[in-house]
């Protein structure tokens, strides 16, 4: 078996991103959509770490550090928004949130 | 040993990521997300980014997934009987997924990314001192901006979770 190369890591991160993207488009539950978004973020950090490792620099890793911080803030605000939404509409299914339709 | 570990962790991560998307129950999806994050943390260790692997486990697996579980319990979402996807909204994600996968796999297969073993390059990410040095010199301004962002996020959450009287726009 060959050792893992940069190509393998980039392919894996792209696959993970595609799965998250699929989840965002397919699911109706807002919480699961949000989880898929997190999956996409993680996929991008995996690519950054792999490139950083390949180039022998640390800048990519520092960016990942920042991405984690932003993601933590995003989760806090996003979940607060979902709770506020549930208080108003009593549902978090995306296909029932259609009051702008007519 | 390393190639085996890469294969194991990558398959584990992909399988649990699929689990997040296809699980009907939101709690099971959150648990799959947790496992997927553990797999990615294993890959980070393979890439010698030990600090990031640890932070991933602490912040994501520890805090974010726990927060998700709290909200799932709080909202108690009864899955609304999966009223069959209508045709367009079922096909569109599949088409998008196929296009994305085709584009990326072509890029990876034909791209001129280096195919040499990653282990021939010295690992900068294993050096904890380097993180501290860069965060306090090159990236000093981003660190302060991020601190401010966290403050704003905290204030935003407090405002959002307050009850506002007289702003109710439902019937």
Q: What is the CATH classification number for the domain harbouring A81? A: 1.10.287.3510
Looking at the partner chain, which of A16, A38, A70 has a beta carbon nearest the beta carbon of B14?
A16
CB B148 within 8 A of CB A39: no
A36 belongs to a structural domain: yes
Mark which residues 5-24 of B lie under 8 Å from A by CB: 6-7, 10, 13-14, 17-18, 20-21, 23
Residue B15, both tokens: 């399988």
The pLDDT value recorded for residue B10 is 92
B98 part of contact set with chain A, CB < 8 Å: no
Residues of A in contact with B155 (CB under 8 A): none
The pLDDT value recorded for residue A87 is 86
A48 belongs to a structural domain: yes
Structural domains counted in chain A: 1
> For residue B56, what is the nearest residue in chain A, using CA coordinates?
A68
- Reported confidence tier of residue B127, pLDDT bands at 50, 70, 90: confident
Which tens digits make up the pLDDT trace of B15-33?
Answer: 999 999 988 888 999 999 9
pLDDT (mean) for B82-94: 70
A30 belongs to a structural domain: yes
Give percent of chain B with pLDDT exceeding 70: 82
CATH for the stretch B1-78: 1.20.120.1200
Which of A93-97, B30-34, B116-120 has the least mean pLDDT?
B116-120
A1 belongs to a structural domain: no
Q: In sequence order, which residues have a C-beta less than 8 Å from that of residue B170 and are 6 or more positions away?
A: A88, A89
- CB-based contact A84 B160, cutoff 8 Å: yes
Residues of B in contact with A41 (CB under 8 A): none
Q: Which domain holds residue A41?
A: 6-96
- Reported confidence tier of residue B79, pLDDT bands at 50, 70, 90: low
ipTM of the complex in this document: 0.90
Which of A19-23, A37-41, A62-66, B126-130 has the least mean pLDDT?
B126-130
Rg (CA), chain A: 17
pLDDT (mean) for B26-47: 93
- Reported confidence tier of residue B171, pLDDT bands at 50, 70, 90: very low
A42: closest CA among B117, B15, B104, B53?
Answer: B53
Mutate to test the interface with B, among A20, A25, A44 (most CBs of B within 10 A): A25
Residues of B in contact with A78 (CB under 8 A): none
pLDDT (mean) for B119-148: 85
Mutate to test the interface with A, among B39, B125, B143 (most CBs of A within 10 A): B125
Looking at the partner chain, which of A7, A52, A79 has a beta carbon nearest the beta carbon of B67?
A79
The pLDDT value recorded for residue B44 is 93
- Pure H helices in A5-92: 6-26, 30-55, 59-89
- Pure H helices in chain B: 2-22, 26-46, 50-55, 65-75, 87-110, 128-136, 140-161
Mutate to test the interface with A, among B4, B12, B13, B95 (most CBs of A within 10 A): B13
Reduced to 3 states (helix: H, G, I; strand: E, B; else coil), residue B124 is: coil
- CB-based contact A26 B51, cutoff 8 Å: no
CB A60 within 8 A of CB A66: no
Mark which residues 52-81 of B lie under 8 Å from A by CB: 52, 55-56, 59-60, 63-64, 67-68, 71-72, 74-75, 77, 79-80
Which tens digits make up the pLDDT trace of A32-67?
Answer: 999 999 999 999 999 999 988 888 888 889 999 999
């Amino acid at each position: 078996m060959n050792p893992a190369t940069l190509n393998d890591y980039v392919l894996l991160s792209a696959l993970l991103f595609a799965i998250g993207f699929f989840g965002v488009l397919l699911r109706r539950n807002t919480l699961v959509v949000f989880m898929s978004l997190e999956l996409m973020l993680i996929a991008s950090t995996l690519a950054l770490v792999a490139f950083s490792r390949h180039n022998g620099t640390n800048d990519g890793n520092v960016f990942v550090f920042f991405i984690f911080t932003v993601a933590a803030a995003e989760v806090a605000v996003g979940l607060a928004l979902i709770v506020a939404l549930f208080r108003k509409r009593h549902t978090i299914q995306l296909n029932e949130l259609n009051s702008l339709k007519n | 040993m390393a190639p085996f570990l890469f294969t194991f962790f990558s398959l584990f991560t992909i399988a649990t990521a699929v689990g997040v998307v296809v699980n009907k129950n939101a709690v099971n999806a959150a648990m799959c997300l947790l496992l997927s994050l553990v797999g990615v943390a294993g890959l980070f260790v393979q890439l010698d980014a030990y600090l990031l692997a640890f932070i991933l486990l602490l912040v994501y697996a520890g805090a974010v997934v726990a927060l998700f579980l709290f909200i799932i319990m709080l909202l108690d979402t009864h899955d609304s009987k999966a009223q069959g996807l209508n045709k367009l909204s079922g096909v569109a994600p599949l088409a998008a997924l196929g296009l994305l996968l085709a584009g990326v796999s072509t890029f990876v297969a034909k791209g001129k990314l280096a195919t040499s073993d990653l282990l021939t390059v010295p690992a900068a990410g294993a050096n904890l001192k380097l993180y501290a040095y860069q965060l306090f010199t090159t990236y000093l301004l981003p660190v302060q901006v991020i601190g401010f962002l966290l403050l704003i996020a905290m204030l935003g959450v407090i405002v959002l979770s307050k009850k506002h009287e007289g702003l109710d726009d439902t019937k």
